Amino acid sequence: MAKILIVDDNTAIRDVIKIHLMMAGHEVIEAENGRQGVEMATEHQPDLVILDVMMPEMDGMEACSQIRTDPACAAVYVIMLSARGETSDKVDGLNTGADAYLTKPFEPDELIAQVNAGLRTAEDRRQAMYDLLTGLFNRRAFDDLMHRELSLRDRHGHGLSMVMIDLDHFKAVNDTYGHHAGDAVLRDLADILREVCRPSDLPCRWGGEEFACLLPQTDLENALKVGERLRAAIEAHDFPEVGKVTASLGISQAGPEENEESFCKRADEALYRAKEGGRNRIEAATSA
């Protein structure tokens, strides 16, 4: 069962679409304008969005653009549905970030076929972007997000920081308790990241027992505060079968015009110093 968000200011049209989607076995959530639709997309992270174009407060074009810039909705498939059927309208919708564009009045069978195709595409995107064990962004997606955030930093001048996290003595966990217990520890750590990090933060599984988190609009001082909350939460957690596990963290703030490689390298070097300094601690990177 997929989760589908319908965004349309016309209640009758929403009801018709909802009936057909529910008959197909899907969970449906609704919004009556573009602004509400963007908020609900961020909150509920649907698999697919059906989006009207002409709406009050925020039209479908702007709503689609905002949904597309939200990392939480990176895999979502967007179908625009509008009475405006000129070629230029369709081109505008697709250029804004929609995956498909249907005109009203629509045939329910065609809409359901588009939904089914869109859900397959959304699933392919998820598998390409997310780590299967933890559900966090994978390294490939993280690299793309880092490139985007560095570009935003260059344009707007706001801070951007990174936390790198490595579980202490994780090999001993696998050797002593088995890989199934180690996997459970990694899943719990991912849950801690989701709980402690802010909605704007971008956590990922970097590889093995190493994780990373981008902190947009965050300077080094505030990144250290986030890092300490993470370190303390990991230390306080009782991991299944294993008990207590700690982590070491390295933190860097992106310097002016710094590239991805240097940004990551400085965080990794700080992480290494945290390990060498006794583990279960945080080190800040030297300035770029």
Q: Whole-angstrom Cα distance, residue 228 to residue 189? A: 15
Q: Whole-angstrom Cα distance, residue 10 to residue 48? A: 19
Q: Whole-angstrom Cα distance, residue 37 to residue 33? A: 6
Tokens of 230: 């993470």
DSSP 73: G
**N-to-C CA span, the chain:** 48
Query: Is residue 201 within 8 Å of 159, Cβ to Cβ?
Result: no
Please identify which residue in the block is written with the tokens 């707007």: 156
Residue 209 annotated among the catalytic residues of the structure: yes
- E-strand spans in the chain? 3-7, 27-31, 48-52, 77-82, 100-103, 160-167, 202-207, 210-216, 247-253, 282-284
Helix axes 139-156, 260-276, angle to 10 degrees: 110
Q: Whole-angstrom Cα distance, residue 4 to residue 84? A: 23
Annotated active-site residue in 32, 209, 258, 283:
209
Decide the pairing of beta strands 160-167 and 247-253. Answer: antiparallel
Q: Whole-angstrom Cα distance, residue 171 to residue 76? A: 36
Give the catalytic positions in this structure: 209
